[in-house]
């Protein structure tokens, strides 16, 4: 009887630990050199580039083994022409040899808005290991900074990713010159 009770207690303890470990992380305000934004609940933050005085890129990705949503935010301490930046970024993505993208399409959608800033935008689709991805890029300048935001995910996860994309876009702010 004692063995059964200990086993049951151990199983309950392990189950509770697993549930606590799987809990989604809460929203968090992120302060970078040039921009600040809110990290959505259940999304992870990762630095992509080494921080330097002029350039910063971060990746936000939806937590979970089969989750597809991600946002990259690149900020530069100089004003770039938004449409040219979008075109060079899309050219770089099309020439990417590290990832296996196929059937890429880019469409420049022109004037738009992101986080309250006038922006230029482009939409894209691509297939990555058989999964159909769609995304949109926004480029804008403000207060001497240029920002490029890329939101993407599988078409199947469109509705699931929408809330996280909204949290980032509604909270993104340019940090005034430091």
The Cα 26–Cα 145 span in angstroms is 29
List the domains of the chain with CATH numbers. 25-174 (3.40.1000.10)
Question: How many angstroms separate the CA atoms of 159 and 18, rounded?
Answer: 27
Q: How do residues 14-73 score in pLDDT, each as one tens digit?
A: 343 344 344 555 788 888 888 999 999 999 998 877 666 688 889 999 988 788 899 999
Q: What is the pTM of this model?
A: 0.80
**In degrees, to the nearest 5, what angle opens at C-alpha 50 toward C-alphas 119 and 96?**
65
Are 119 and 108 spatial neighbours (Cβ–Cβ below 8 Å)? no
Q: What is the per-residue pLDDT across 66-122, written as a single tens digit (0 to 9) for each? A: 888 999 999 998 999 999 989 888 887 776 655 556 677 888 898 999 999 999 999
């Amino acid at each position: 009887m004692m063995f059964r009770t200990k086993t049951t207690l151990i199983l309950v303890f392990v189950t509770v630990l697993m549930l606590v470990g799987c809990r989604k992380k809460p929203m968090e305000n992120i302060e970078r050199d040039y921009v600040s934004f809110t990290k959505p609940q259940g999304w992870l933050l990762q630095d992509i580039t080494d921080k330097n005085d002029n350039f910063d890129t971060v990746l936000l990705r939806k937590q979970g083994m089969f989750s597809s949503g991600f946002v990259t935010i690149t900020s530069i301490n100089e004003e770039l022409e938004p449409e040219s930046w979008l075109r060079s970024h899309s050219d770089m993505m099309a020439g990417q040899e590290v990832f296996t993208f196929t059937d890429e399409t880019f469409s420049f959608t022109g004037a738009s808005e992101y986080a309250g800033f006038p922006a230029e935008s482009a939409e894209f689709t691509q297939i990555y290991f058989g999964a159909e991805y769609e995304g949109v890029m926004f480029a804008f300048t403000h207060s001497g900074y240029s920002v490029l935001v890329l939101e993407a995910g599988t078409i199947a996860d469109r509705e699931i990713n929408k809330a996280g994309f909204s949290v980032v876009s509604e909270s993104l702010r340019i940090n005034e010159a430091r």
